Amino acid sequence: MAKRQSDGPAKTDIDMTPMIDVTFQLITFFIFTLNFSNAVQDDRVQLPLSQLAKPAEAPADDPITLQLWPDKDGVTKVIYNGEAIRVPDMSGFLEQEKRVLIDAGKEPADAKLIVRGDGRVKTGEVQELIKICQEKGFENFVLRAQYDERK
């Protein structure tokens, strides 16, 4: 009996098209479900805990986010567009926001300002920032806190 000689393992081609399709569908899914509203939040700001805090019912249209944070020297700064600014110096930046709103045909009183105050910031500093905002014509404020689940 003659033996058949083997040519080695059989070659198989794997069709990668379905795998690539699934990968692109997953990427698309994650892009559409990504929450971009958290992009304006700075990790340095540690929100205070509150039992009364609740998530926003609806996202705000183009909110202005102001984040209060004590720097390493204990000086309270406002993180605005990624830049740390002292609270008294915010007047000029708020004036610029006001002009942009007016140029867009909107009133500063209708704009929503989200104030994210670090738990280590004194209440008076938050009040001072709100006072500066009110002097520029802003009236609609949302204060952020982290929900306390310990109860």
Confidence of residue 147 (pLDDT cuts 50, 70, 90): very low
On average, the pLDDT of the chain sits at: 79
Residue of higher predicted confidence among 79 and 138: 138
CA–CA distance from 121 to each of 21, 56, 72, 94 (Å)? 50, 23, 12, 20
Residue 8 pLDDT grade (very low, low, confident, very high; cuts 50, 70, 90):
low
Mean pLDDT calculated for residue range 91-105: 92
76-80 sheet: strands from edge to edge: 83-86, 76-80, 64-70, 112-117, 140-144
CB of 127 within 8 A of CB of 89?
no
**In the prediction, which pLDDT does 99 show?**
93
Residue 7: pLDDT over 60: yes
Mean pLDDT over residues 38-51, rounded? 56
Model pLDDT, residue 149: 56
Residue scoring higher pLDDT (112 or 2): 112
